[in-house]
Amino acid sequence: MSQTLIVAKFGGTSVADFDAMNRSADVVLTNPDTRLVVLSASAGVTNLLVSLAEGQEQAQRAYLLDEIRRIQYAIVDRLRNPAVIRDEIDRMIENITMLSDAASLATSNALTDELVSHGELMSTLLFVEILRERQVEAEWFDVRKVMRTNDRFGRAEPEIATLAEQAAALLQPRLAQSLVITQGFIGSEHKGRTTTLGRGGSDYTAALLGEALKAARVDIWTDVAGIYTTDPRVVPSAKRIDDITFEEATEMAIFGAKVLHPATLLPAVRSDIPVFVGSSKDPAAGGTRVHRETANPPLFRALALRRRQTLLTLHSLNMLHSRGFLVEVFTILARHNISVDLITTSEVSVALTLDTTGSTSTGDSLLTQALLTELSSLCRVEVEENLALVALIGNNLSRARGVGKEVFGTLEPFNLRMICYGASSYNLCFLVPGEDAESVVRALHKNLFE
């Protein structure tokens, strides 16, 4: 492929309705190097499909299906020749109805993925139709033909080598002929069943395809014009960051910045493909460029906030001078598929945070009774919920002087439940009560960035 290929991804709000889709089409057509377009489901549709997948009573099913129908037909009805596409959307909705009926009898992760995938299938069909009405040579492509994954439904991992082979064979030749529109977030395992890559997976899809096709850049079009020093909804005076490194952006994403999904960046980092983040509502506003290195990285770069954190504190006198306690704890957690986020220890106790955000399945299922029982046989367990994690992202934080005074001086009025500092020179994290989270972010932003 020529080194000028751009893969463009549009999020749910960018394909939410007829007008949004047309704005996104404008963005695509402005740059002739944009040959592959990856779409999320129209805003709201994925959540409705996830609800249906959880198994609903007849009346609730009917209501959710009507909502999906309403969102998608609002787009169909504004097309000049809606007949062809209406049949296709009808067929999709019949499928969704059938799968929802099945889910009301018995739910499963595989069924959830099959159901949820219809959001992206519908938005891409509609987008192709919008482009064709503008006389653009556009082709719909089923990403499941190339995005081969393992069978961990709900959070499947792609098989990179297979993806590269399939993309070269099936996608590459098409890009020369026409503009190709495909789905984010979904894939298929070796038996051909549909899988999903976990929430935020459309960005990941775009970066994976960019890597497989050796793209020159991946553009992520969303509803904000780039990456800001913190969430502008929390701090209206947050400033846009024009250039940021992969490391900083990854840290921000890991700690809850909504703009990019952490896994998204991995394929781009591996293959040194720059990522651009801009707003499809206002493409002229510019955006943020994410690349390997930037000139003069600042000490403090951004603040990220992650809500709904759970703190698990394990006390055991046996821990004192004994070996193997942590090994046992981590073995139990691993057996229950739980990844630990932050950790601090004392002589007789260890505190760990679990991140419940980020999976398609509901977060409440993380701390199962079986897990708590198993841990309780080893030590005394305390669980605290509804905490928030605030992360200060920067550069060489662990080697700079005076960071503690700058940060903790500002936080004097707040209760800090846990602090993690020193393991990474890119972040300093603390856990605070959920209701204080926004005030903490505002106070820090004012002191460090304004």
| H helices present in 364-436, as ranges | 369-376, 403-410
DSSP 328-365: HHHHHHHHTT--EEEEEE-SSEEEEEEE--S-SS-GGG
CA 140, CA 122: separation in Å to the nearest integer? 11
Phi, psi dihedral angles at 397 (to 5 degrees): -60, -35
Which helix (H) or strand (E) is 270 found in, with range? Answer: helix 262-270
CA 76, CA 91: separation in Å to the nearest integer? 14
Q: Find tokens 């002929």 and name the residue.
A: 177
Residues at the binding site are 9-12, 46, 120, 222-223, 228, 233, 258-259
Chain CA centroid to CA 417, Å: 27
Q: Say if residues 113 and 195 touch (Cβ distance below 8 Å).
A: yes
Q: Say if residues 296 and 239 touch (Cβ distance below 8 Å).
A: no
Q: Say if residues 392 and 427 touch (Cβ distance below 8 Å).
A: yes
Residues at the binding site for substrate are 46, 120
Residues at the binding site for ATP are 9-12, 222-223, 228, 233, 258-259
Contacts of 47 (CB under 8 A, 6+ apart): none
Per-residue tokens: 22: 């047309």
Chain CA centroid to CA 397, Å: 26
List the beta bridge partners of residue 310.
Answer: 354
CA 421 to each of CA 40, 427, 430: distance values in angstroms, whole numbers, following the listed order: 36, 7, 9
